[in-house]
Each structure stands twice: as structure tokens, then as C-alpha cells.
Amino acid sequence: MATLKINELEEVVINYHDLDGCGDILYGFQFLFGKKSVLNPEILSERNKDGVFFISNCDFEKCGVISFFEQIIATKNSLNYENIEQPVIHIRCRAWNEFKDYRIAKWTNAKHADGTKKYGEGFVESMLAYWEKDVELIFSIDSIFTLSRDGYSNISLHYDTNTDVLRRFIDDLKSEFQEFKRKNLEKHNHLSQALSQ
């Protein structure tokens, strides 16, 4: 299972679980703190009490999650991802292009109580190489996964990380994706052919 390691305790796990009845990939998402689900099982539907959330992206050939994270790394642009069919997991990424102006202004304009500048000239420029890697990820879990059936509510989890961590995660996810496809190609062909008959 590919693990997006946020810090020593927090991690997001994504794995290729199985194929659905159409031969498309079922993804499993877990949100862990100290190897335990961060979500209270008492608020989750019976089939999700273990804290594993399954979605389909209606595809076998490509992984939308991989493409999503690769675009963030390549462009430093904020992006959104959402699988097509219910239940839905939505991922919102806030990246450098979205918060650079705010962050640069905040540090450039920071002052001591006496009104003098807090940071010397060149400080902001020296920090840009670090700051531009920062990303904020917001995973929103569809209410179908919970005891609440109100379609207008969801649970959101926020994580701060960076593109170096995302790159390692995507490398692992790509390897697992290729291996999963190789092992399940025959099953995919059988299911998709049966569906078309």
C-alpha cells in the first residue's frame, strides 16, 4: 500500500483493492494517526467502520490520482480531484500559485512592535525555494460513508506536506498500479467482455 507520510504519526494510505463488476479499479483510502483510523467508527456506515473507504474511478488503464498529484508537482498549481461515481472522495490541493502572494507579503511586511521590519533584506528570497514546495491537501469524504445520508455534508481532513513527499508517494503508487494491472489484466478482460455481451 502506497503511503503518503505526512509526519511520524499521520499518514494517508491509498491502495488498489480489487476490480468492480465492470472491470474497473476499486481504490481503498485510509486516513491514519498512529496506525489507527482518525475517524470515529461510531459515525461511519456499517461497511466503513474499519476506516477504509472504497471508490471507483471507472477506469482500468490509468489512475486519476497519480495524474492529479503529478500535475501538482509539475505546475505548482492548485487542483481538484473527484472520482466519477458515488461514493465520492474529493481531493483539493492548495499549492504555491494560490498562496505565494499572501505568504510573500506576510513575511515582507512583518514588523516588530516598534514598527521596524522583522526580517532583513533577502530573507524572503532565501525562503522561496522551500516555500514553493509546500502544499495543503484537503480530503473530503462523501456522506454516503457515514451514518448521515444528507448529500450536502461530508467530512474533511486537512494535511500540510510538500512536493518532495508527494513525489516519493507517487513513485510508490505508480509501481503498485503497474503491478496491480499486471496481476488483474485477465480478470479485467473477463469482466469487461461479460459486460459488453
All structural domains of the chain with their residue ranges: 2-196
pLDDT of 107 reads: 86
Mean pLDDT of the chain: 91
pLDDT digits (tens, 9 = 90+) for 168-197: 999 999 999 999 999 999 999 998 887 776
Helix, strand, coil in percent for the chain, rounding step 5: 40, 30, 30
Rounded alpha-carbon distances, angstroms, from residue 191 to 38, 89, 125, 186: 35, 25, 55, 9
Residue 24 phi/psi, 5-degree rounding, is -95, 160
Mean pLDDT, residues 94-123 taken together:
88
CA distance 42 to 55: 21
Dihedrals phi, psi of 6, to nearest 5 degrees: -75, -45
* Peptide bond preceding 87 in cis form (omega within 30 of 0): yes
Q: What is d(CA 12, CA 40) in angstroms, rounded to the nearest whole number? A: 16
Q: What percent of the chain has pLDDT over 90?
A: 64
Q: What are the backbone dihedrals phi and psi of residue 37, each rounded to the nearest 5 degrees, phi first?
A: -60, 135
Distance CA 32, CA 193 (A): 38
Looking at residue 24, the DSSP 8-state letter turns out to be P
Q: Read off the pLDDT of residues 150-169 as tens digits, 9 standing for 90 and up.
A: 666 789 999 999 999 999 99
